[in-house]
Structure 1
Amino acid sequence: MGYTEAYESDLIRGDQDPLPWRLRAEITALALGTDRLLDIGCGTMFKTLALAPLVRQVVGVEPNPRMLAQAHTNITASAVGNAVVVAGRAEQLPFPDSSFDLVTVMLAPHDTSEISRVLRPGGRAVLEKIGDRDKWNFKTEFGADDHGPRGQFADLDQGQRAREYEDEFAGLFDRVEVREGFWATYYSRTGLELLLEQTSAIRGFDPVADKAVLDRICQEWTTHRGIKTIQNRMLIQAWK
């Protein structure tokens, strides 16, 4: 998935009801000024840069070349002096063991064993991940193709991802907490199309080929605030 300016657009975030948590506040509660923080899958760093005042150094790692290039541009434009970004993948982080005090993941792919490896003893991890019932009313409308349901995680039972992550982290960390949250979000049609183009919510989404599905979604789910869906997120906090 290539980078476009739409990635940073508020349109793909929609008009949201109050969230069950604020991710920056959750990270702030665990961050120390002496920490070295790693953000996995940092994208263009536009979220990661907000964490820089909390810690000694913030490091972003990103595999997408176009997002990586924009991340460098964003760092330069911000004039933040304690932020860097490097190329790398979540499943093979380009850092030695015990390199960081705090690891964050903001809706990006991750590898739990790699997070554990690069964290120092006493280190902490904060992850926000997409739940299996995220945007469920949209995903069911897109049906299936030769590879199964087109909606991301649409083949999972409700709550399955949360249970799997809790077991996975419990095997590598001394303590883990997993919370699930749900809230309503309302999109314009343009915002919804941008969201589906810029994320993995619907496999193979094409605004032209999928026009009839989008028309049906708009007809069924439009309210005075916009096209309604329910967001489902997991907040994972782990202590090594």
Structure 2
Amino acid sequence: MTNKDYRSFYERTGARNGWNFSAVRTVAEGEAWQYAEEVRARCGPEDALLDIGTGGGEALLVLADAARELVGIDRAAGMIETAKRNAERSGRRNVRFLRMDAERLAFPDGGFDVVCCRHAPFHAGEVARVLKPGGVFVTQQVGEGDKRNLVAAFGRGWREAPPGTLLRRCVSELRDAGFGDVQSFRYDAAEYYRSAEDLMFLLKHAPIIPEFGERDEDVEVLARFAEEHRTEKGIRTNAERMLIVARK
């Protein structure tokens, strides 16, 4: 998936619903970590936290009590509108959301103690610039092997690079940006979706199957996939994730 493709997809999705996945019923087995807890563990009560690619803000609002000030940014106007509504409903006053491009962060140098980013592009140089000396960057990204059986069923998918390509690139870019301590981790967990409708929501709102729903056969392929991979726990696929923790 090229950066141009990602931007186009992201803008369309943000305009529709802000990527609010809270209604999707899914469980996973074999996760090696919980992303929110990894971020929380690096925060102090007086810290300032920046979330890059915040989407609808749900994940950041969960962390509202972990730091003094939290800022979520996203390039899509629809995402930020959704995030602001979610913040208003939450009653949290220490969280704010701004429309901003990750490649051009409109913040002063060294303004944040922690920067995080979940399943979104980031610019290593900009992350390093806005972090204080000794600050920490935490990112979780989706591996090339994610949803392997879904991609095989549809015969198309965004991720065509060899396994580990994104992880190696991210680690290299962070080191080049001046991060001295860069650690990386990976897991490949079983993931179960309660129904075909849950899977359909996922495929419509995440860049897994390009242009899902625009081909006449897509719904039929999904229905067949759901029957072939249905178990007592749900419709089985996989979640491949990688975690990078870098200290400036």
- Root mean square deviation, CA, Å: 1.8
> Which residue does the alignment assign to 2:150?
138
> Which residue does the alignment assign to 1:147?
none
User: What code does the residue aligned with 1:177 have?
Assistant: Q
> Which residue does the alignment assign to 2:3?
none
User: CA shift at 1:208, angstroms?
Assistant: 6.2
- In the alignment, which of 200, 210, 235 is matched to residue 193 of structure 1? 200
Decide whether the 8 Å contact of 2:18 with 2:56 is kept in 1: no
**TM-score, length-scaled by structure 1:** 0.90
- 1:226 is aligned to 2:234: yes
SS in structure 1 of the partner of residue 184 of structure 2? strand
CA deviation vs aligned residue, 1:93-112 (integer Å, no higher than 9, x gap): 22222221110111122122
- 1:176 is aligned to 2:171: no
- In the alignment, which of 210, 213, 217 is matched to residue 203 of structure 1? 210
Pairing 1:1-240 to 2, within 5 Å after superposition: 1-3=12-14, 4=16, 7-12=19-24, 14-143=26-155, 150-153=156-159, 155-172=160-177, 173-187=179-193, 188-206=195-213, 209=216, 210-240=218-248
SS in structure 2 of the partner of residue 168 of structure 1? helix
- Runs of at least 4 residues off by over 6 Å: none
Decide whether the 8 Å contact of 2:13 with 2:19 is kept in 1: no
User: CA shift at 1:152, angstroms?
Assistant: 2.2
User: CA shift at 1:219, angstroms?
Assistant: 3.3
Count residues with an aligned counterpart.
233
Structure 2 CA distance for aligned equivalents of residues 74 and 164 of structure 1? 34
Structure 1 CA distance for aligned equivalents of residues 53 and 39 of structure 2? 16
SS in structure 2 of the partner of residue 12 of structure 1? coil
**TM-score, length-scaled by structure 2:** 0.87
Structure 1 CA distance for aligned equivalents of residues 37 and 91 of structure 2? 23
Structure 2 CA distance for aligned equivalents of residues 126 and 221 of structure 1? 33
User: CA shift at 1:90, angstroms?
Assistant: 1.2
Structure 1 vs Structure 2: percent identity of aligned residues? Answer: 33
User: CA shift at 1:5, angstroms?
Assistant: 5.2
Q: Which runs of 5+ in 1 are unaligned?
A: 144-149
Q: Which runs of 5+ in 2 are unaligned?
A: 1-11
